[in-house]
Structure 1
């Protein structure tokens, strides 16, 4: 794979040599647009070449990344990969799809997150380290983000966040989630009767972004702006973005970063009772968090508490609309709701895949893995493993082991926002279907174009309810 990357790096870079780039940088002639294009080549342009070649040669992982039909419904491809063994070699990287193999990769200390620049082809390494760095931006795949940080830094950051983002703090948000859910449902009920509603725009996105805004100490009137930034930045988790997608993502991350830096300064002067205020003022034996570290953690909380929950709420609603017998079961036995949310997470994992790099020679399920190898842990496939989940392609709110899913990852990088996502999923979806028991699709839902994140952009629905607006929250 390294030789393929090296060849692709040269192809993606075109006729400009590294020497010419260096000369332009040293003379101050390399403007922002040129630097952006260089970053795109190093991060995505090379990958696009490699993915395209792998797809043409029949690589199944590349099929999911390149083929819109396979991306829209990847589960048959997951089954095909799983049938080849617990850990399957590929032209891009090794692929783990079985529940056992994915769990092993995610929990093993023989694997790390992120790239090691020293192991990259020299052209890509030069691009990323010589001219591609942009200190203004801290995206979800930029250090010191917890998603790409390993011990001991990851341990320190997570310990600091865990001190303020506790189970007690999340449970204290229950009343707010109830209140915000009621407000959003009231607003939908007030729409003209019979008028279709986009469930994503009016509910699935607004509930988590409103809650996370309160966690971050962000004014509520900024929530639509955060929705825009989040939607534009979400593709950055994918590999092989087009140049246009990359520019849009970087623009959103830069704007959000600038706003958050100013926000930290405000919170230093006027702290609130929100979690970020507490992080800003942390000062103990672990040391203070600088602005880049604060931005990385705030960005992670935004992604963990918002992006994945939008997908959970949207996919969960569609699953219940399309499986009315499961709605009947939940109405008859509301105690099933918590399990139903886990089944939604299993069946349509909001995060479909993550990758790991082996830091020493090891093995996974008896398959040797050399140091420096990359493995894609296909979470969406592991959650449909028939060896763990009987009849895995059936949505079943009564499934006894639904909670064994890996939608929140596993091991050291287990999602820090898991409890909040479950809370919002259970309250939001239960209240939605209690309020609008005849909720139905008003058109075909539209899937997001992202590869790593799976969910819907739009879900047109008919509320089909003449019930008066309910002002008192239900107990959950």
Structure 2
């Protein structure tokens, strides 16, 4: 069921519009959650905001939620059985939630059940076990050659590009090519995946404008229709791709075969998560390294440092900035009682800059010994299944780009994405300079 225009408007008001209006009021009163949602200065300068929150203690009480930028607190809550994930709109006041439930569509959404992001065991265990049975470390390792080949092909096409938007021509193209191969997406459909991804990227955010909400719905609706048809095709004619293997495995899944909606949600999350975060990782990495040419000189001399450099990029400019958990009961967290059914915003980007864990935490250090202790891939039972693939794409994608274009430089300020949960570049103009001959790997 797709929402009609009236239901769509009511649902937006219940889930986003009301929160947006209240957040503006709270922000004027200094409330941290209100400022996070409604103050453009916070998105423009996240580090200053993070340090302001840190100065207030390990857990900060806001008007409607709690918030933390403490690494230990965030790590503990990601692993705690006293806290759980929750779907968008499920922690609203009861009357508002009643309206939201009766006006929502039945289209898949990344933070609505049955998505793995918003369910707990036993459902989560069932879905994760299915994907893990196919998305094995060996399968991911075997994909590294595919990542290298895709990166080299895309960079061949940029040899005479001069000045180009590297997000459009490379950072978005590499992950959609790789994930498309994994999921059996035909070449002629990949531009549609890019389009749907761009439209739906703000879907993880709360407090969307009416215009943003309509764009997100268009993206999710288009993605639902395309993916549903794609799964029917693969079910009739399974190939060698991992998505076909997931479909076959789902027929004999523990607890019974997955319904079409469950399979649709699982496949959609694998596709979207495998694409969106890697686009951000590549764009953030290119920008950070162009801003620190000394690091590029070091990496050229010591390519063995690329894995650590990728971990440091993930730590310092986290592609996923925020997560949240809800308390199942009144729970003491670092001296603060978090009340039952109250949410804690886990500011992962802040935890990744915790000085108790990372020395000189705001410094970009490609030799940092514990860079991999970041929480950018979440933790506990919801730890990102695609973390190994994202790391491989980051390492191969960035190394190959700078080996091919060692004289690349910024050609403009670029434009950040207008999202809070996801952080990346929507546009990044680069003058590539003279290309070197492709190196063998």
Smaller-chain TM-score bracket? over 0.9
Aligned-partner Cα distance in 2 for 1:133–1:117: 10
Q: Indicate the residue corresponding to 1:415 in structure 2.
A: 384
* Alpha carbons 2:403, 2:436 under 8 Å: kept: no
More divergent stretch after superposition (369-378 vs 113-122): 113-122
Q: Indicate the residue corresponding to 2:129 in structure 1.
A: 159
Aligned-partner Cα distance in 2 for 1:343–1:349: 9
Distance 1:432 1:122, change over 3 A: same
Aligned-partner Cα distance in 1 for 2:160–2:403: 16
Q: Does 1:77 align with 2:60?
A: no
Please point out which of 202, 227, 230 is paired with 1:235: 202
Aligned-partner Cα distance in 1 for 2:189–2:88: 37
* Alpha carbons 1:40, 1:246 under 8 Å: kept: yes
The Cα offsets for residues 155-185 of structure 1, whole Å up to 9 and x where unpaired, read as 1110111001111111111111111000111
* Alpha carbons 2:87, 2:111 under 8 Å: kept: no
* Alpha carbons 1:72, 1:447 under 8 Å: kept: no
**Structure 1 residue 382: deviation in Å?**
0.4
Q: Indicate the residue corresponding to 1:183 in structure 2.
A: 153
* Alpha carbons 2:108, 2:224 under 8 Å: kept: yes
The Cα offsets for residues 23-48 of structure 1, whole Å up to 9 and x where unpaired, read as xxxxxxx9710011122122211211
Aligned-partner Cα distance in 1 for 2:291–2:36: 25
Q: Does 1:204 align with 2:171?
A: yes
Q: Does 1:134 align with 2:102?
A: no
Matched ranges for 1:104-119 at <5 A: 104-115=76-87
* Alpha carbons 1:431, 1:474 under 8 Å: kept: no
Secondary structure at the counterpart of residue 273 of structure 1: coil
More divergent stretch after superposition (299-308 vs 335-344): 299-308
Aligned-partner Cα distance in 2 for 1:34–1:85: 44
**Structure 1 residue 115: deviation in Å?**
4.6
Distance 1:72 1:165, change over 3 A: same
Matched ranges for 1:236-385 at <5 A: 236-282=203-249, 283-284=251-252, 286=254, 287-385=256-354
Please point out which of 33, 50, 73 is paired with 1:61: 33
Q: Does 1:171 align with 2:141?
A: yes
**Structure 1 residue 365: deviation in Å?**
2.0
Secondary structure at the counterpart of residue 363 of structure 1: strand
The Cα offsets for residues 27-74 of structure 1, whole Å up to 9 and x where unpaired, read as xxx971001112212221121122112101111232232222220221
Any gaps of 5 or more consecutive residues in structure 2? none
Q: Indicate the residue corresponding to 1:433 in structure 2.
A: 402
Distance 1:325 1:151, change over 3 A: same
Aligned length: 438
The Cα offsets for residues 343-366 of structure 1, whole Å up to 9 and x where unpaired, read as 000000000001110011212223
**Structure 1 residue 223: deviation in Å?**
1.3
**Structure 1 residue 300: deviation in Å?**
1.2
Aligned-partner Cα distance in 1 for 2:316–2:174: 22
Aligned-partner Cα distance in 2 for 1:188–1:115: 41
Distance 1:119 1:447, change over 3 A: closer
Secondary structure at the counterpart of residue 345 of structure 2: strand
RMSD between superposed Cα atoms in Å: 1.6
Q: Indicate the residue corresponding to 1:456 in structure 2.
A: 425
Aligned-partner Cα distance in 1 for 2:36–2:339: 25
Q: Indicate the residue corresponding to 1:405 in structure 2.
A: 374
Aligned-partner Cα distance in 2 for 1:393–1:117: 34
Aligned-partner Cα distance in 2 for 1:237–1:175: 32
Distance 1:296 1:116, change over 3 A: closer
* Alpha carbons 2:404, 2:435 under 8 Å: kept: no
Q: Indicate the residue corresponding to 1:15 in structure 2.
A: none
Aligned-partner Cα distance in 2 for 1:31–1:368: 39
**Structure 1 residue 303: deviation in Å?**
2.5
Q: Indicate the residue corresponding to 2:440 in structure 1.
A: 474
Q: Indicate the residue corresponding to 1:91 in structure 2.
A: 63
Detail structure 1 runs of 4+ shifted over 4 Å in the superposition: 115-119
* Alpha carbons 1:104, 1:364 under 8 Å: kept: no
* Alpha carbons 1:111, 1:356 under 8 Å: kept: yes
Aligned-partner Cα distance in 2 for 1:214–1:35: 38
* Alpha carbons 2:20, 2:38 under 8 Å: kept: no
The Cα offsets for residues 266-322 of structure 1, whole Å up to 9 and x where unpaired, read as 111110111111121222251211111111111211222110000000000001000
Please point out which of 93, 107, 112 is paired with 1:121: 93
* Alpha carbons 1:45, 1:240 under 8 Å: kept: yes
Secondary structure at the counterpart of residue 386 of structure 1: coil
* Alpha carbons 1:86, 1:98 under 8 Å: kept: yes
